[in-house]
Amino acid sequence: MSHDHSPAHDDLSYLRSLAEAGRNAPLSAGPYLLAGGGAFALASFAIGLADVGLLPYTARAVAAPALLGALAAFGVCLAVLLKRDARRAETDNNRAVGAAWTAVGLGIFFYCLAVQVASWRSGTDSLGDSIALAVLMQYGAAWLVTALVARRRWMFAVAAITALSMILVAATMDTPAAWFAYAAALVLSGVLPGAHLMRLSAACRN
């Protein structure tokens, strides 16, 4: 019996191998999560240190420069990463995950802007505490989308941990532990899973 394959069969096998490689390609969101989560976790930790009296400044005095510094640092990292990744081929999975996290980033930005407008109009900053909860809510939603797209169980666990951390942060509001809880939540939902994605991507390239 002949085992020769026709050109059409070979082409079909090649296309299937490309599709399978695309499904199994590592996600490229790791550096973005590490940069964003890390910058704002450090800022939150610094504010927490001031809030408990371990810095010679009040938490209110530290908050603005720390958060603006985190935003600037993340902006620089974002520009560098986007320029680097613009030259790379993008899989459907990475395109879908990237869209989900881009939507999250825009949602967080405009929510923060809306809170500032509301605070200016009302003369109070009562909505300020809701920003941390809104960030974690959107992180959890993005991780759920990422898990559904990538079909990885550990990502569902990250989504669940993010949701639970949001409850923990809410429980610590108006206490000295609030900023530390938020920093820890960002590490759990951004820094650690982002670093893990980077390790998987590096292992795949080696």
pLDDT interval class at 186 (50, 70, 90): very high
Q: In this predicted model, what pLDDT tens digit does every residue of 26-58 receive, in sequence order? A: 788 999 999 999 999 999 999 999 999 999 999
- Mean pLDDT within 89-95: 82
Mean pLDDT of the chain: 87
**pLDDT at residue number 21:** 47
Q: How far apart are CA 176 and CA 203, in angstroms?
A: 40
Report the Cα–Cα distance between both ends of the chain, in Å, rounded. 40
Q: Which of 128, 154, 71, 81 is nearest to 105 (CA)?
A: 71
